[in-house]
Amino acid sequence: MVVYPVIALVRASLSRYSITGLYQGSVGAANYARLVEQEAFVPVVANTVMWVASIVAATVLVSLGIAQLLNEDFAGRRLVRWALIVPWAASVIMTSKLFVWIYDYYFGLLNHLLTSARLIAAPVDWLGNDTTVMGAMIAVGIFVSVPFTTYVVLAGLAAIPGEVYEAARVDGASAWRTYRSVTLPLLRPALLVAVVLNVIYVFNSFPIVWTLNDRNPGFAHDTMITYMYKVAFKSSLRDVGLAAALGVVNVLLILAAVLVYLRTVSWREADG
CB of residue 42 to other proteins, shortest distance in Å: 18
Q: Which of 245, 243, 224, 233 is nearest to 14 (CA)?
A: 245
Interface of this chain with other proteins, residues 249 to 268, rule: CB under 8 A: none
Contact with other proteins (CB under 8 A): which of 116, 236, 270, 272? 236
Per CB under 8 A, contacts with other proteins among 2-21 are 12, 17-21
Cβ–Cβ < 8 Å for 105, 126: yes
Closer of 130 and 271 to other proteins (Cβ): 130
Q: How many residues bind other proteins (CB under 8 A)?
A: 33
Q: Which of 28, 177, 218, 262 binds other proteins (CB under 8 A)?
A: 218
DSSP-derived 3-state class of residue 69: helix
> Which H or E run contains 213?
none
By beta-carbon proximity to other proteins, the closer residue of 70 and 104 is 104
- Residue number, 128 or 135, with CB nearest to other proteins: 128
Considering only residues 48 through 67, tell me which ones interact with other proteins, judged by CB under 8 A.
Answer: none
DSSP bridge pairs for 184: none
CA atoms of 10 and 203, how far apart (whole Å): 20
Instruction: Tell which positions 19-38 bind other proteins, by CB under 8 A.
Output: 19-24
From 169, 215, 263, 268, residue interacting with other proteins (rule: CB under 8 A): 215
**What's the distance, Cα to Cα, between the start and end of the chain in Å?**
41
Looking at 44, 110, 232, 246, which residue binds other proteins (CB under 8 A)?
Answer: 232
Q: To the nearest whole angstrom, how small is the minimum distance from the Cβ of residue 181 to other proteins?
A: 50
Q: What residues between 90 and 149 interact with other proteins by CB under 8 A?
A: 100, 105-107, 125, 127-129
* Closest approach of other proteins to the CB of residue 7, in Å: 14
CA separation for the pair 18, 86 (Å, rounded): 44
- Angle subtended at Cα 133 by Cα 46 and Cα 225, rounded to the nearest 5 degrees: 45
> What is the DSSP annotation of 135-197?
HHHHHHHHHHHHHHHHHHHHHHHHTS-HHHHHHHHHTT--HHHHIIIIIHHHHHHHHHHHHHH
State the minimum distance, in angstroms, from the CB of residue 95 to other proteins. Answer: 16
Under 8 Å between Cβ of 268 and 42: no
Binding residues for other proteins, per CB under 8 A?
Answer: 12, 17-24, 100, 105-107, 125, 127-129, 214-219, 229-230, 232-238, 240
